[in-house]
């Protein structure tokens, strides 16, 4: 067990609160901090011993590479070899922000950071705490999501404490994360950028800047071949999974609500509780369908409006964790299609549900 220093950040941010955590990073320690996507667990990207601390704390497989976070484009010089001409436009458009670029790496980046690949992922976060912490440490900071490997990424400080207390040197307790899904991972080593992990910045946003963007087929469904796995090692691990069994429904909403109602009625007979993640448009209809059913047999987490999927993205991981904590053994989710956020959300839902997708 480690002694974990917990610092509650005051808002508006008093940057002096980051002096000590920045010193800890310089000493090779591990510090969890908020970013605009999810909380990250940081350590000096140029110190293999510090990186080992991240892998141990998370129980992370060693072939899953880490993203290196920077506060200034000048920091790129020590990390990467050449960059494609179009990347400057992408950096101007999306940095700082929820976008990770995959470059060919320099030898300064140890194989333990890159998972043995010859590339490295780099992101400049937008969150003022993350940016200021990296600037104060004066170092590139490797930071995966601040969860135990395999669990949903933490979008609230309380889940970082739950997973990493006693495992890391310091936790910065800030506000809830604004985006709620991890950054878009974009391979920019070739002539056309390729999305390896979908996020809030989608293919159409990238096409809007550089005119072209490919999407790794592995991001579109759950079953993917070994060749695809080799490109983005993180894709092969069971990610984002709560303890409960997750089922995702897409298609006809009336049929979906009927199936959900039937499942809840079965759960009522067995004294179980079903977790539900549906949109506010449907919540009232479902509650009407459930009139007379014992309220202990379901727990409803409303995902805002289906017209504004930002709310769903922001709440997804925290609601999966909350429904687990409530003791739900099954979680039923209204999946999404044909929206800017749908690719990123469904990518997480495929993994959380291990492919349990029902077309209604
Ligand atoms: O939003 C985020 O990206 C958060 C915050 C903390 O910045 N970080 C994050 O890190 O999600 P992590 O380690 O949980 O996810 C990193 C993903 C993994 O799927 C990994 O396989 C992929 O990025 N990745 C990292 N380096 C890569 C590389 N060189 N080539 C291909 N994929 C890479
Ligand atoms: Mg992660």
Question: pLDDT-derived band of residue 62, with 50, 70 and 90 as boundaries?
Answer: confident
65, two tokens = 């590479």
> Which of 81, 121, 147, 159 for a ligand 1 pocket mutation test, highest count of atoms within 8 Å of Cβ?
121
Number of neighbours of residue 318 by Cβ within 10 angstroms:
20
Owner of token pair 């039937």 = 262
Q: Taking 60 as the threshold, does the pLDDT of residue 200 lie above it? A: yes
**From the CA of 109, how far away is ligand 1's center (Å)?**
15
| Per-residue confidence (pLDDT) for residue 230, from 0 to 100 | 44
| Per-residue confidence (pLDDT) for residue 150, from 0 to 100 | 86
**From the CA of 253, how far away is ligand 1's center (Å)?**
34
Percent of the chain having pLDDT more than 70?
95
| Per-residue confidence (pLDDT) for residue 219, from 0 to 100 | 86
Q: Taking 70 as the threshold, does the pLDDT of residue 224 lie above it? A: no
Q: Which of 214, 271, 197, 242 is nearest to 332 (CA)?
A: 242
pLDDT, tens digit, for every residue of 237-293?
Answer: 556 788 999 999 999 999 999 999 999 999 999 999 999 999 999 999 999 999 999
Nearest ligand, measured from the Cα of 126:
1
Q: Is the minimum distance from the CB of 67 to ligand 1 under 6 angstroms?
A: yes
**Across the chain, what does the average pLDDT equal?**
93
pLDDT, tens digit, for every residue of 82-92?
Answer: 999 999 999 99
Nearest ligand, measured from the Cα of 63:
1
Q: Is the minimum distance from the CB of 124 to ligand 1 under 6 angstroms?
A: no
> HSE on the CB side for 296, CA within 13 Å?
6
Helix (H, G, I), strand (E, B) or coil at 348: helix
| Per-residue confidence (pLDDT) for residue 234, from 0 to 100 | 57
Q: Is the minimum distance from the CB of 121 to ligand 1 under 6 angstroms?
A: yes
Rounded Cα–Cα distance for residues 345 and 347 (Å): 5
Q: Is the minimum distance from the CB of 197 to ligand 1 under 6 angstroms?
A: yes
Q: Is the minimum distance from the CB of 184 to ligand 1 under 6 angstroms?
A: no
pLDDT, tens digit, for every residue of 315-331?
Answer: 999 999 999 999 999 99
Q: Taking 80 as the threshold, does the pLDDT of residue 141 lie above it? A: yes
> Can you tell me the mean pLDDT for 113-121?
96
Question: pLDDT-derived band of residue 176, with 50, 70 and 90 as boundaries?
Answer: very high
Q: Say what angle helices 280-289 and 253-269 make with each other, to 10 degrees.
A: 50
Q: Taking 70 as the threshold, does the pLDDT of residue 37 lie above it? A: yes
> Can you tell me the mean pLDDT for 195-202?
96
> Can you tell me the mean pLDDT for 145-158?
94
The DSSP secondary-structure symbol of 17 reads: G
| Per-residue confidence (pLDDT) for residue 11, from 0 to 100 | 84
End-to-end CA gap in the chain: 48
Verify cis geometry, omega within 30 degrees of 0, for the bond prior to 12: yes
Q: Is the minimum distance from the CB of 182 to ligand 1 under 6 angstroms?
A: yes
pLDDT, tens digit, for every residue of 330-352?
Answer: 999 999 987 778 999 999 998 88
């Amino acid at each position: 067990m480690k002694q974990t220093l917990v610092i509650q950040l005051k808002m508006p941010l008093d940057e002096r609160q980051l002096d000590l955590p920045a010193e800890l990073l310089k000493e090779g320690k591990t510090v969890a901090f908020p970013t605009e996507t999810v909380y990250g667990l940081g350590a000096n990207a140029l110190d293999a011993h510090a990186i080992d601390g991240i892998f141990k704390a998370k129980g992370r497989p060693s072939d899953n590479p880490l993203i290196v976070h920077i506060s200034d484009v000048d920091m790129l010089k020590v990390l990467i070899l050449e960059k494609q001409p179009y990347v400057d436009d992408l950096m101007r458009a999306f940095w700082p922000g929820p976008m990770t670029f995959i470059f060919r790496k320099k030898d300064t980046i140890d194989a333990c950071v890159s998972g043995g690949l010859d590339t490295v992922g780099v992101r400049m976060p937008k969150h003022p705490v993350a940016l200021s912490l990296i600037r104060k440490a004066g170092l590139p900071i490797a930071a995966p999501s601040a969860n135990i490997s395999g669990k949903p990424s933490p979008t609230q400080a309380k889940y970082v404490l739950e997973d990493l207390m006693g495992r890391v040197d310091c936790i910065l307790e800030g506000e809830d994360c604004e985006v709620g899904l991890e950054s878009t991972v974009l391979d920019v080593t070739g002539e056309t950028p390729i999305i390896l992990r979908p996020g809030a910045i989608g293919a159409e946003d990238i096409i809007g800047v550089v005119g072209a963007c490919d999407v790794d087929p592995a991001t579109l469904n759950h079953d993917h071949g070994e060749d695809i796995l080799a490109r983005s090692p993180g894709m092969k691990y069971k990610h984002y999974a709560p303890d409960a069994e997750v089922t995702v429904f897409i298609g006809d909403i009336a049929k979906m609500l009927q199936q959900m109602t039937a499942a809840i009625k079965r759960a009522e007979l067995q004294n179980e509780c079903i977790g539900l993640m549906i949109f506010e448009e449907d919540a009232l209809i479902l509650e009407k369908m459930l009139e007379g059913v014992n309220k202990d047999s379901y727990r409803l987490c409303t995902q805002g409006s289906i017209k504004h999927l930002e709310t769903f993205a922001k709440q997804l991981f925290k609601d999966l964790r909350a429904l687990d904590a409530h003791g739900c053994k099954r979680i039923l989710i209204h999946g999404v299609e044909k929206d800017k956020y749908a690719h990123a959300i469904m990518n997480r839902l495929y993994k959380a549900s291990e492919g349990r997708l029902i077309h209604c």
